[in-house]
Amino acid sequence: MEILQNRRWICLTLTLILKLNCSGEVESCTRRKVKRLLSFQRYCHASRLLRGLVPHTPGSLHLLDDDYLGQAGHMLSKVSAWNFDIFLFDRLTNGNSLVTLMCHLFNVYGLIHHFQLDMVKLHRFLGMVQEDYHSQNPYHNAVHAADVTQAMYCYLKEPKLAGQLSPLDVFLGLMAAAAHDVDHPGVNQPFLIKTRHHLASLYQNTSVLESHHWRSTVGMLRESGLLSHLPADMSQDIEQQLGSLILATDISRQNEFLLTFREHLDNQDLDLQLASHRHFILQIALKCADVCNPCRVWELSRQWSERVCEEFYRQGDLEKKFDLEISPLCNQQADTVPAIQTGFISYIVEPLFEEWQRFTEPSLLSQTMMGHLHKNKARWSRLRFTHPTSESQMQPHVEEDPEPEEQSLLFTV
């Protein structure tokens, strides 16, 4: 029965997506494109630096047969499982994993009814968000956003949190997860600064990408009119809180968040009755969801690792091509996938998830995640030393490792 309902839900979702994409929207679509000229999507096509690197594949839209919809619906009935395969789900929904997942979760939580949301506006907003992710990015694309949203959903369901969250908390958590990397250009902030991208100067070289993800989200919220029926102070509050959540994903602020989190846990002073404390936990949950790849089962984790490194290498190739200094982690000849992953796990992921596990006291999910994390880390370590792929990897390691804080700054993706 549940599968049938899910199936009907997906049919409705996809029908709406097709309608919005294919008919009656030409005028507003053109208006939208003109209005959002500042987005990286548009910039990529106009930029001298990036021109030619964006493969222009004609958008093909295949109608799904019932089998695929049935399988996607079946997957949604197990969406809280930590081994949820988002890659498969994206294939089954014909690349609409983010829209389909968000509609399903909004339905599960009764958010459409609670906030009196207009279904057409909701689909339009989610369609815009999904469309503004760059499908040509190996990592920062709509599937990553869907993956982070699914992880966020699992964290919102943690026994420690679930009973304390208001509908607004859940709404903000899911929306921030879905939109947190929207219009990501596939290069990092140092690259934008050194190439003097206009957004780097607009945001004064600070949280450049995160600020852009947030401002783009606000633009799409207003354009879709999703919140236009709410009192002005409420929609403003939602926009601000979304900003605070999305900006928390800036990895260069990792230590600031980690130290505050640790202090709260040491002092045992987190009071989830307080909206400000719940907001802080939502920030931490989103940060965890954003970097949880090493906590997934090896088969999924490995695919994400290869994708993120592929994106780094593409940036390195671009820097090489334009005679710029190659950024850390972006040199395919020197920085191997196992080396990048062991550093990322040791300096970013493990310290954060150790505290998250403490916060959940520890939950079954936290223990499962830490189990995968330790196994995956050991596997990358073995691969690092058994299959060195570059000359530098074969030399005995004599240099001292930099301080953890310095190391974590390398991962400002």
Q: Which residues are annotated as a binding site for Zn(2+)?
A: 144, 180-181, 290
The SS3 of residue 225 is coil
Q: Confirm if 290 and 249 have CB atoms less than 8 A apart.
A: yes
- Please say which residue, 90 or 181, places its beta carbon nearer to Zn ion: 181
Cα separation of the two ends of the chain: 43
Cα–Cα nearest to 211, from 175, 185, 171, 181: 181
**Rounded to 5°, angle at Cα 340 from 409 and 359:** 65
Enter the tokens of residue 333.
Answer: 């000849």
Q: Confirm if 181 and 214 have CB atoms less than 8 A apart.
A: no
Min. distance of Cβ 312 from Zn ion in angstroms? 14
- Please say which residue, 290 or 311, places its beta carbon nearer to Zn ion: 290
Cα–Cα nearest to 135, from 40, 10, 13, 20: 40
Min. distance of Cβ 304 from Zn ion in angstroms? 11
Cα–Cα nearest to 40, from 197, 191, 147: 197
Q: Confirm if 365 and 372 have CB atoms less than 8 A apart.
A: no
Min. distance of Cβ 144 from Zn ion in angstroms? 6
Min. distance of Cβ 97 from Zn ion in angstroms? 15
φ, ψ for residue 297 (rounded to 5)?
-60, 150
Min. distance of Cβ 139 from Zn ion in angstroms? 8
Residue with tokens 């009973």: 163
Binding stretches for Zn ion (CB under 5 A): 181, 290
Alpha carbon distance 207, 249 (integer Å): 9
Which residue lies nearest Zn ion, judged by its C-beta?
Answer: 181
- Please say which residue, 71 or 149, places its beta carbon nearer to Zn ion: 149
Give the amino acid at 220.
M
φ, ψ for residue 118 (rounded to 5)?
-85, 120
Annotated binding site for AMP: 140-144, 181, 290, 341
Min. distance of Cβ 293 from Zn ion in angstroms? 10
Is residue 56 flagged as an active site residue? Answer: no
- Please say which residue, 290 or 355, places its beta carbon nearer to Zn ion: 290
- Please say which residue, 169 or 290, places its beta carbon nearer to Zn ion: 290
Min. distance of Cβ 212 from Zn ion in angstroms? 13
Q: How far is the CA of 178 from the CAs of 38, 383, 395, in angstroms? A: 20, 33, 43
- Please say which residue, 72 or 156, places its beta carbon nearer to Zn ion: 156
Question: Which DSSP symbol is given to 406?
Answer: H
Alpha carbon distance 132, 134 (integer Å): 6
- Please say which residue, 143 or 226, places its beta carbon nearer to Zn ion: 143
Q: Confirm if 334 and 390 have CB atoms less than 8 A apart.
A: yes
104, 123, 134, 140: the active-site residue: 140
- CB burial string 237-263: b at 16+ within 10 A, e below: ebbebbbebbbbbbbebbeebbeebee
State the catalytic residues: 140
